[in-house]
Amino acid sequence: MKIALLGQFGSGNSGNDGSLEAMIKLLQSRIPDVELHSICANPRTITDRYHIAASWHGRLVLRNPLLRKLSKLLGDVPRNVLSIYIMIRTLKQVRWLIIPGTGILDDYQDSAFGWPFVVFRWCLIARLLRVKIAFVSIGAGPLHHPFGRWVARSALKWASYRSYRDEFTKNFLGSIGVEVKGDFVFPDIAFNLPPPPMHQINSKAHKTVGVGVMNYRGWSKADPDAELIYRTYQEKLSQFIIYLINRGFRVRLLTGDIGDQVAVSEMTQKVRGSMSKDDTAKGAVFYEETTDLHELMQQIDKTDMVVASRYHNIVCALKMGKPLISIGYNDKNDFLMAEFSQIPFCQRIESLDLDRLQEQFDRLLQNYDSIKSDIKAANVNFSVRSNEQNCILLEKIQAFTPITSGTEVAATTL
């Protein structure tokens, strides 16, 4: 059985790749003869990392200058026709096109012809070829452009299975005209990934705080205040890190995207520059580059608590049972934190209040043990719900797919 997995994979975002990995592990462990093919942003990276076939998600790239010029003279018709042919060839013999997790239907740092349009194009070809479509624990919204909302609505309409990672997504899609009444809400599929072995932290040592640093410049790619937003965020977060160091805490910087490395570098210089005459700052800030969610969870394991912005930083911290504060840039963080009874520990990047952040941190310390208990209980619930989705999805694949003699789809949990 051939299944295609569509998403922004291989682009340097560990949350996206973690979502792909979770789906690969599920399908390979439960469908013996499955043949997987990723349609993604960086095919070579995905093939090298996960050992599955992969192809470029976008239109054909004409590398020959003469062919590019000729195609433009003809209104780019030759390029578009060839691109459609490649898409048809890619989905030939495919039985299911699955979009596994990620916030793929929003327009964060994107245009009206960004990833929602990519999803629409592939779903349209899949529909024409009678390939079944599944959206599994996806995130969506906001989509500010009417065209973006239309392509998202159209793609979802053709799906045989739809589930969302939170009520925010379901409510948003309902508000733009998607019939969501019979759709599911299940945890983000990255919760399916196994955690690393956890180490016992020495309670006598200085507490270590994981601080997620993000290269955040506003929601819109064309935001005229992008630089101001970034500088304000850097200034406030650096002041908070200095506050932690002055209180005797060690800080481990965390990221979730390759684009965050520039922000980490600037943050480190900013903190060390501000405390250059203070010996307590020496060795108080740590950073180790991470390339996937496994490495990120290993870093989080070395902390006592976390303050972060990226969604999958929050996912990993919760999965590791760490008390945390979310400094989000979208409702998705708040909805996830609410599932773990942690709403009092939420803020937004663009309205970040340092005094409130320090108060939240103090409350986190005061209620540390009870918070860990709440998170642990919620993780049990998330595990049950994730396994429920695994069964439903696998049964759906079996029901809509002719199974060859001697082959069974085992609709059991991970």
Same domain, 66 and 170: yes
Q: Which of 137, 152, 185 is the last residue of a domain?
A: 185
Same domain, 239 and 177: no
Confirm whether 407 is domain-assigned: no
Task: Measure the CA–CA gap between 200 and 378, rounded to whole angstroms.
Answer: 21
Same domain, 257 and 363: yes
Confirm whether 402 is domain-assigned: no
Same domain, 151 and 230: no
Predicted confidence (pLDDT) per residue in 27-59, tens digit: 999 999 999 999 999 999 999 999 999 999 986
Q: What range defines the domain where residue 7 resides?
A: 2-185
Q: What is the mean pLDDT of the chain?
A: 92
Same domain, 156 and 8: yes
Same domain, 162 and 57: yes
CATH number of the domain that residue 162 is part of? 3.40.50.2000
**Encoded tokens for 14:** 């560990």
Same domain, 226 and 172: no
Same domain, 332 and 260: yes
Same domain, 166 and 250: no
Same domain, 175 and 48: yes
Q: Is the pLDDT of residue 287 over 50?
A: yes
**Encoded tokens for 334:** 């708040």
Q: Is the pLDDT of residue 127 over 70?
A: yes
Confirm whether 46 is domain-assigned: yes
Task: Measure the CA–CA gap between 30 and 396, rounded to whole angstroms.
Answer: 13
Contact 213, 264 (CB under 8 A): yes
- Residue 101 pLDDT level (bands cut at 50, 70, 90): very high
pTM metric for this prediction: 0.93
Same domain, 16 and 162: yes
Confirm whether 384 is domain-assigned: no
Same domain, 110 and 22: yes
Query: How many separate domains does the chain show?
Result: 2
Helix, strand, coil % (nearest 5) of the chain?
50, 15, 35
Confirm whether 237 is domain-assigned: yes
**Encoded tokens for 187:** 């945890």
What is the identity of the amino acid at 13? N
